[in-house]
Amino acid sequence: MPATEPSPGIRVPLRKGEAFRKALVSGGALDPSRKVCSDRNYVYLPVKELDRESLQLIAGLGEYEPISHQFAMDRRRVTVEDLLGRRTTYEVVGDIAIVEDPEEKRAAEAIMAVHHSVRTAIAPESEVEGEFRTRRFRHVAGEERTTTTHREHGLQYRIDLQGAYFTPRLGTERLRVAEQIEPGQTVLDMFAGVGPFALLYARRGARVVAVDKNPVAVSYLRENARLNRLEVEIREGDAAALALEFRDSMDRVIMNLPHCASRFLEPAMLAAKDGGVIHYYTFAPDDDLYRDRKVVEEAAVRLGFRVEFLYQGVVRSYSPRQSNVVLDFQVVKSGVTSIAIKGSRN
């Protein structure tokens, strides 16, 4: 085992070791990447930080001594941060690591040492850009490719990261919506990409129409539907136009095009049934997270509809001052005139 830098910990009498260890684990303060050790008199417990919260966990358990100790690394639990000696930013999609680090080769080595399934490391050469929301990448280490197979919630996705949009960071959000979907419900995924929302909902038993304008994304979406043996109606083209083919027929509409979803609100509302629910994603400044409620309400009023907001939440942080947020709302189409007028009077 290579020598490690000293890291924080506590030293406690041998007979008290287990009580202290349990208290630290229960509060998430024990450092899992380092090994607990002992000698004839003491147990040495590695902690993530010797801060006030950690010390509160062990208050009242007896005497201890804060220490800085060369704990051995627990190889099974070693993190990329341990190997690199600092934090870094990366994302793993299938067997590809997307690395964002000033020392990208070193970071890639550390990532590949910790994540044994990673075969390729790439670094973004551009932001997510253009109508198709794609990024350009350069090769950093391992096999030279941008295609992979990613697994999420029991489904498999073939992906070309350079040819179509995909991020695993929306996995929890996709599941949140999936849990609301009843078998037989109709769902329109207006910006489907390679299919991570659409296919998950098809597996829940929904009748899904998945639309995307990017031919590369659509070709992967078709392949992924086949791969997972799921039936989805797949349409290549502009969601604004295609949504109008499904007027008043959708129980749910997914609008995952956060940088400009507001432009598509009217066709989405027209596709929704009376009482249908729209899951609307956008980027917003952290000091005004739900400012798009107004935009949504205005679109509804233009169509003579009304909306009932059901849920609002932060999906993930997007940039230092911006978040990706979701608004779930119901579109009410019947008996609206009087309600809309009442709303505008207030």
Please give the Cα distance from 242 to 236 (Å, whole number).
9
Q: How far is the CB of 199 from ligand SAM (least distance, A)?
A: 11
Q: How far is the CB of 158 from ligand SAM (least distance, A)?
A: 13
3-state SS record for 143-201: CCCCEEEEEECCEEEEEECCCCCCCHHHHHHHHHHHCCCCCCCEEEECCCCCCHHHHHH
Residue 171: Cβ within 10 Å count: 14
**What are the residues whose beta carbons fall under 8 Å from the beta carbon of 60, sequence distance 6 or more?**
none
In angstroms, the Cα distances linking 128 to 133, 137, 314 are 5, 11, 20
Q: Which is nearer to ligand SAM, 82 or 212 (CB)?
A: 212
Q: How far is the CB of 197 from ligand SAM (least distance, A)?
A: 5
Q: Which is nearer to ligand SAM, 8 or 195 (CB)?
A: 195
Q: How far is the CB of 198 from ligand SAM (least distance, A)?
A: 8
Phi and psi angles of residue 141, each rounded to the nearest 5 degrees, phi first: -160, 160
Q: How far is the CB of 271 from ligand SAM (least distance, A)?
A: 13
Please give the Cα distance from 229 to 156 (Å, whole number).
10
Q: Which is nearer to ligand SAM, 290 or 318 (CB)?
A: 318
Please give the Cα distance from 78 to 110 (Å, whole number).
10
Q: Which is nearer to ligand SAM, 70 or 126 (CB)?
A: 126
Residues near ligand SAM (CB under 6 A): 131-133, 164-166, 170, 191-193, 196-197, 211-214, 217, 238-240, 256-257
In the complex, residue closest to ligand SAM by CB: 193
Task: With beta carbons less than 8 A apart as the criterion, state whether 96 and 159 touch.
Answer: no
Residue 294: Cβ within 10 Å count: 9
Q: How far is the CB of 80 from ligand SAM (least distance, A)?
A: 25
Q: Which is nearer to ligand SAM, 214 or 282 (CB)?
A: 214
Q: How far is the CB of 326 from ligand SAM (least distance, A)?
A: 12
Residue ranges in 12-60 assigned as alpha helix (H): 17-26, 52-58
